[in-house]
């Protein structure tokens, strides 16, 4: 499980990079629709997670991470 | 079909100003846009001279997704094109309903290439290049971005012809309109301004090293010229058929009378006399211009010894007896390269519309070649209605445009 500090950092980074209000980033919200990601912008999400949190999301697994909660959990689980 | 081609919109993002009025004031008052850039010196540049221009912040105008694909020169081009479309009276509704074309000059995009290579080498992970890198890296980055942003549906084409790129873009756009294949084409050129873009150019000793006097460094045709100064930005010229302009009730700013072109078929960097002469002669022939009416020739002259000398000889050979004023605006701007053909049409149009010919900045003494020309060392306050603009590039590509004030 991701701790609150990690969640807040993830939300801040995503909000700044994708220029959305941080209030819109909630655990159950859909990542793609909230961040307005098309297939190209998902590449930026993957790169951001790798650069900021040191977690590489394989392309085969990107499609399984639908909500912010699942992203928090994925990052927490795979961080060194 | 042989239709007349007119200019109905102009926009510029230049070291001389970001509006036509600002540029007019710089040209009128002899204000140079050249500076010394310490960053370049620290990087080991032979010459740290460059034009100065900030990258526009387009957060309010464009979405993050749109900006993601835009290198600096595409941002300059966006600003210039917004202004040009506005002046032409072309709103998004019109662009949505008509097949407006886009031909723009651009011949490099260094920063995204460098940054991607650095990431790949350091991380061995291409995903980290990001989604924008490929679109920013390509020479066609400006046309792909502008085409999508403005939802243009006519021809979409980048001209990469070195420093003649955007002159060719206007010439080719005019040809398509003349032949009835397009009614309106957004033409222009964009040039990035960053050290990576010109480092290798600096490496061949092409740049002026008059670093102690930045505003005097670019001195086309002057005896003591010692090389060019790199510049950049973007310039957009909207051209359309006379019928289209009249139908829309657009303000007609000028008319493209003719385009000439040639290739030197010679050395990759040293120009000759024959190629530029042929380009000039073809433009004159195609335009059927009365040379007595050509009051001004905006020269390509970049402030290199051999380039200016060869162009001076070509101009003197072709136009000698008519003695028009011959001046290069590169004394003000440095060499705007891929942008120069379009920006110099705008600089010349501004002069024509405001009744003056800007001085050939920093021209103090002629040499044995440039003495054959009528080069103004100070501003000439005179009305005129026809001018010629030369643009030449590496590899020996030459383009010449003849433009006149519009008359029924």
Q: What is the residue range of A64's domain? A: 4-78
> Residue A2 — pLDDT band, cuts 50, 70, 90?
confident
pLDDT in tens, B264-302: 999 999 999 999 999 999 999 999 999 999 999 999 999
The ipTM assigned to this model is: 0.92
Please count the structural domains in chain A. 1
**Do the chains contact at A41 and B65, CB–CB below 8 Å?**
yes
Q: What is the CATH number of the domain that holds B355?
A: 3.40.47.10
What is the model's pLDDT at position B76?
A: 98
Give the residue-averaged pLDDT of A24-45: 96
What is the model's pLDDT at position A80?
A: 65
What is d(CA B312, CA B185) in angstroms, rounded to the nearest whole number? 32
Q: How far is CA B176 from CA A11, B140, B302, in A?
A: 51, 19, 30
Write out chain A residues lying below 8 Å of B62, CB-based: none
For B66, residues 6+ apart whose C-beta sits below 8 A from its C-beta are B145, B148, B149
- CB count, 10 Å around CB of B45? 20
In whole numbers, what is the pLDDT of chain B averaged over residues?
Answer: 97
Please count the structural domains in chain B. 1
State the catalytic residue, choosing from B129, B163, B168, B187.
B163
Residue B309 has pLDDT above 90, yes or no: yes
pLDDT in tens, B143-169: 999 999 999 999 999 999 999 999 999
What is d(CA B117, CA B101) in angstroms, rounded to the nearest whole number? 33
Q: Which of B58, B68, B123, B127 to mutate to test the interface with A (most CBs of A within 10 A)?
A: B127
What is d(CA B46, CA B43) in angstroms, rounded to the nearest whole number? 9
Write out chain B residues lying below 8 Å of A38, CB-based: 65
Q: What is the CATH number of the domain that holds A39?
A: 1.10.1200.10
Residue B1 has pLDDT above 90, yes or no: no
Q: Which of A35, A39, A43, A57 to mutate to test the interface with B (most CBs of B within 10 A)?
A: A43
Q: What is the residue range of B273's domain? A: 5-404
How buried is A47 (Cβ within 10 angstroms: 0-12 exposed, 13-18 middle, 19+ buried)? buried
Of A19, A43, A56, the CB nearest to B64: A19
Residue B248 has pLDDT above 70, yes or no: yes
Give the residue-averaged pLDDT of B312-339: 97
- Residues of chain A that touch chain B, judged by Cβ-Cβ distance less than 8 Å: 18-19, 36, 38, 40-41, 43-44, 46-47, 50-51, 56
Global pTM reads: 0.97
Tokens representing B288 are 């059927």
A65 by DSSP, 3-state: which?
Answer: coil
Give the residue-averaged pLDDT of B73-78: 98
Give the residue-averaged pLDDT of B43-67: 97
Write out chain A residues lying below 8 Å of B65, CB-based: 36, 38, 40-41
Identify the sign of the CA torsion B283, B286, B289, B290.
positive
How buried is B44 (Cβ within 10 angstroms: 0-12 exposed, 13-18 middle, 19+ buried)? exposed
- Residues of chain B that touch chain A, judged by Cβ-Cβ distance less than 8 Å: 59, 63-65, 68, 125, 127-132
**Do the chains contact at B59 and A19, CB–CB below 8 Å?**
yes
What residue has token string 């098309």? Answer: A38
Q: Which of A13, A38, A47 to mutate to test the interface with B (most CBs of B within 10 A)?
A: A47
Q: Is residue B148 annotated as part of the catalytic site, yes or no? A: no
């Amino acid at each position: 499980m991701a701790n609150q500090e990690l969640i807040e950092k993830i939300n801040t980074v995503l909000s700044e990079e994708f220029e959305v209000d941080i209030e819109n980033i909630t655990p159950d919200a859909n990542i793609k629709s909230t961040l307005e990601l098309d297939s190209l912008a998902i590449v930026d999400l993957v790169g951001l997670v790798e650069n900021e949190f040191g977690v590489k999301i394989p392309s085969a697994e990107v499609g399984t991470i639908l909500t912010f909660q699942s992203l928090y959990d994925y990052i927490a689980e795979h961080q060194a | 079909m042989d239709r007349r081609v007119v200019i109905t919109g102009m926009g510029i993002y230049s070291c001389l100003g970001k509006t036509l009025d600002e540029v007019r004031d710089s040209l009128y008052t002899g204000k140079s846009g050249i500076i010394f850039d310490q960053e370049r010196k620290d990087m080991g540049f032979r010459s740290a001279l460059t034009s100065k221009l900030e990258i526009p912040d387009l957060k309010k105008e464009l979405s993050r997704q749109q900006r993601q694909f835009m290198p600096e020169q595409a941002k300059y081009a966006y600003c210039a094109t917004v202004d040009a479309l506005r002046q032409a009276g072309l709103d998004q509704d019109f662009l949505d309903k008509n097949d407006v074309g886009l031909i723009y000059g651009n011949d490099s995009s260094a920063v995204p290439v460098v940054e991607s290579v650095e990431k790949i080498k350091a991380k061995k992970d291409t995903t980290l290049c990001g989604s924008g890198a490929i679109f920013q890296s390509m020479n066609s980055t400006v046309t792909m971005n502008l085409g999508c942003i403005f939802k243009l549906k006519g021809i979409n084409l980048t001209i990469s012809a070195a420093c003649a790129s955007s002159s060719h873009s206007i010439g080719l756009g005019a040809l398509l309109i003349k032949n009835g294949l397009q009614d309106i084409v957004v033409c222009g050129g964009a040039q990035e301004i960053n050290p990576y873009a010109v480092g290798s150019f600096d490496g061949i000793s092409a740049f002026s090293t008059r670093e102690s006097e930045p505003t005097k460094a670019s001195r086309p045709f002057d005896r003591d010229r010692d090389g060019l100064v790199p510049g950049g930005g973007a310039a957009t010229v909207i051209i359309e058929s006379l019928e289209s302009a009249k139908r829309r009730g657009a303000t007609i700013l000028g008319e493209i009378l003719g385009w000439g072109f040639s290739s030197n078929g010679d050395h990759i960097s040293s120009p000759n006399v024959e190629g530029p002469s042929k380009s000039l002669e073809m433009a004159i022939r195609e335009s059927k211009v009365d040379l007595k009416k050509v009051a001004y020739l905006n020269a390509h002259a970049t402030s290199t010894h051999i380039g200016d000398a060869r162009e001076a000889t070509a101009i003197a050979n072709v136009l000698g007896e008519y003695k028009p004023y011959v001046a290069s605006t590169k004394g003000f701007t440095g060499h705007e390269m891929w942008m120069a053909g379009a920006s110099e049409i705008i600089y010349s149009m501004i002069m024509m519309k405001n009744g003056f010919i800007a001085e050939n900045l920093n021209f103090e003494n002629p040499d044995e070649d440039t003495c054959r020309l009528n080069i103004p060392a100070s501003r000439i306050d005179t009305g005129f209605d026809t001018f010629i603009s030369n643009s030449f590039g590496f590899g020996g590509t030459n383009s010449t445009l003849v433009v006149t004030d519009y008359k029924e």
